[in-house]
Amino acid sequence: MIQSPAPPPRPTVPRFAYLISGSKGDLNKLWRTVRALYHPWNYYVLHLDLESPSEERMELASRVENDTIFSTVGNVYVITKANMVTYRGPTMVSNTLHACAILLKKFKDWDWFINLSASDYPLVTQDDLLFAFRDLKRDLNFIEHTSNLGWKENKRAMPLMVDPGLYQNTKSDIFWVQPRRALPTTFKLFTGSAWMILSRSFVEYCIWGWDNLPRTLLMYYTNFVSSPEAGLHSRASSNKTLVLDRIDRELLHRKNGSFTPGGWCKGYPHCTKVGKPTRVKPGPGAQRLRQLIANLLQPPKFNQSQCQ
């Protein structure tokens, strides 16, 4: 009997796949965020929505194409055919699923998906993150959630709304329609933060859906208003810029708009060339993050925090 060769062992260093989204006026914020988050071992999908001028979207694509590190490694992808994204509407979800589908198709070996906005900024280096997640089971998901809807039952779950971004190419807010609907009985509603860390296996289930639940939920949430988040449409103030400068200086050790230093960096100036991508040099942030994760996974707290 001829036996097929055993699959290659999984690398001990995990891989993250990012979506970083922005809107009109977010080009420079998004660019700063992706350079602070960049690591040649990870994957990145960038998206400026249809409200942003075409000049901004073209400039983003041009910056990625002309960046020596990005073009050499080939792990940064720009969605050039922009989606219309309505704040609080289901188009935010569909845009995230679009990025997940791209990541599953283009990049075969990542472990976790993280969705961020251009207004987000890291407080640990990617080496810290890779080190902290290195020994974790790859099927863990990190989602802030609750099934205790409270006031959201009456204000979010039962009213029906329509997101014009599903069928228009110009920006407009969601609007409400009648009648109201009853709470579902075939599945249980959960709400929580729009920002999360999802395992690749869970993302595959959401996209491919080998049972019908993902499609059913997607159809249901088409008329469900999302929880308000200060994400895509927040605007940076000068005070925030000073805060980011301090984060760069004190936590990320990042200078003059360069990449965040890590074990992969080579060349002069530093990080102008890619060395060994799996060489990780964790700093103090890695220990803080590992302790936080250890607290989350400690029984009985971990068992109590799972979806039930």
Beta bridge partners of 78: 46
Whether the predicted pLDDT of 294 surpasses 80: yes
**For residue 230, what pLDDT is reported?**
29
Give me the mean pLDDT over the 274-296 stretch: 92
pLDDT class for 229, splitting at 50, 70, 90? very low
Beta bridge partners of 121: none
Whether the predicted pLDDT of 192 surpasses 80: no
Give me the mean pLDDT over the 15-34 stretch: 97
Contact predicate 126/36, CB 8 Å: no
pTM attached to this predicted model: 0.88
Whether the predicted pLDDT of 232 surpasses 60: no
**For residue 236, what pLDDT is reported?**
31
**For residue 5, what pLDDT is reported?**
62
State the Cα–Cα distance between residues 127 and 39, nearest whole angstrom.
8
**pLDDT tens-digit readout, 38-62:** 999 999 999 999 999 999 999 999 9
pLDDT class for 15, splitting at 50, 70, 90? very high
**pLDDT tens-digit readout, 161-187:** 888 888 888 888 888 889 999 988 888
Chain mean pLDDT for the chain: 87
Whether the predicted pLDDT of 228 surpasses 50: no
Domains and CATH numbers, the chain: 16-304 (3.90.550)
**pLDDT tens-digit readout, 133-146:** 999 999 999 988 77
Contact predicate 187/307, CB 8 Å: no
Tokens encoding 106:
């283009």
**For residue 302, what pLDDT is reported?**
67
Contact predicate 33/120, CB 8 Å: yes
**pLDDT tens-digit readout, 68-109:** 999 999 999 999 999 998 888 888 889 999 999 999 999 989
Whether the predicted pLDDT of 224 surpasses 70: yes
State the Cα–Cα distance between residues 282 and 191, nearest whole angstrom.
34
Q: Which residue from 219, 215, 196 is spatially nearest to 205, judged by alpha carbons?
A: 215
